[in-house]
Amino acid sequence: MGFNRISVFASRYTDPILTFTFKERRSKFYVPRFFLQDQSWVSNQTTCYAHKQSEHVGHILIHFLYTGEYQALEIDYPTLDNRKTSAELAIAVQVLLALGYWRLPKLEELFHSKIESLSKSFHIYDILLLVDRELENAGLENTKDQEEWLENFLMTSLNVALEDKSVDCTDLSIFKKLRHIRLIQFFATKFFESFVSQVLIKNEDDQNSNVESQDTDSVSAIIITPTTSSSDKFESLA
């Protein structure tokens, strides 16, 4: 009877158990240190961690560490209630922002798709305000990449909505309701770039129009004023 050789220096089953609590502090989550070996914030001297995210977010993160799969806690709204979908979208944004700290690339890709899918149920302005609220309330560090993805997602969604004549996106007062400074700066920059681009295009069109007008005037002058030779003059006088 053969034996399988163990190629690791220490068994993962002897690793210390780390304890996690989240915002509500109702429950404790337990994870072997082995599952967090790729996380830069895990310390050999610390076994208890408290996080700002909700337990909904915590469950998704911990479950993915154990299984590599997505699972969420049930949200206490009727299945067809739009508030449930809104809550799911809010949690999805919260998870994405948490992934600036918890480095789980596959889960991040999954939540890009999830946010895009859930957003289809809402007007772009509702999505904009929801993302703004979550960004303002997050208070997290190292979220630059996640915020950039959300900004580009919102800009793309806004462009799609503007091209869709069935969607009313003419009330720009919505942008006065934004609170998150970085998001405000992002849209201010995009709108200014768009304005400058339109001005440059208009100036170029005006210049082309003037050139065409000058060319037309020159052609008209040539046609209206024919050139006559001296012999023509003598013949006409005869």
Q: Where are the domains of the chain?
A: 15-206
Residue 194: what pLDDT? 81
What are the structure tokens assigned to 104, written together? 């789980």
- Residue in 137, 141, 135 with CA at minimum distance from that of residue 185: 135
Give CA–CA dist 108/150, Å, rounded.
Answer: 12
Model pLDDT for residues 17-73, shown as the tens digit of each residue: 999 999 988 899 999 999 998 899 999 899 999 999 999 999 999 999 999 999 999
Residue 182: what pLDDT? 95
pLDDT higher than 90, residue 107: yes
**Residues ≥6 apart with Cβ < 8 Å to 17:** 30, 31, 32, 33, 47
Q: 8-17, 27-36, 113-122, 166-175: which has the minimum mean pLDDT?
A: 8-17
Give CA–CA dist 11/222, Å, rounded.
Answer: 95
Query: Would you place residue 120 in the very low, low, confident or very high pLDDT band (cuts 50, 70, 90)?
Result: very high
Outline where the chain has alpha helix (H).
55-67, 82-98, 105-119, 124-138, 144-163, 181-224, 230-237
Question: At 17, which amino acid appears?
Answer: I
Mean pLDDT across the chain: 84
Residue 225: what pLDDT? 43
Residue 221: what pLDDT? 46
What are the structure tokens assigned to 191, written together? 């709108």
- Dump the DSSP string for 17-78: EEEEE-TT-S--EEEEGGGGTT-TT--TT--EEE-SS-HHHHHHHHHHHHHSS---PPPSS-
Model pLDDT for residues 180-224, shown as the tens digit of each residue: 999 999 999 988 888 787 777 776 666 666 656 555 555 444 444
CA distances (Å), 221 to each of 37, 210, 217, 230, 232, in order?
Answer: 83, 17, 6, 21, 20
Handedness of CA 66, 106, 135, 126 (dihedral sign): negative
What are the structure tokens assigned to 160, written together? 């799609």
Residue 80: what pLDDT? 64
Phi, psi dihedrals of residue 20, rounded to the nearest 5°: -120, 135
What are the structure tokens assigned to 196, written together? 């400058």
> What's the whole-number mean pLDDT along residues 81-100?
94
Question: Which percentage of the chain shows pLDDT scores above 90?
Answer: 58
CA distances (Å), 172 to each of 36, 61, 124, in order?
Answer: 45, 37, 12
CA distances (Å), 178 to each of 59, 125, 182, 228, in order?
Answer: 30, 11, 10, 73
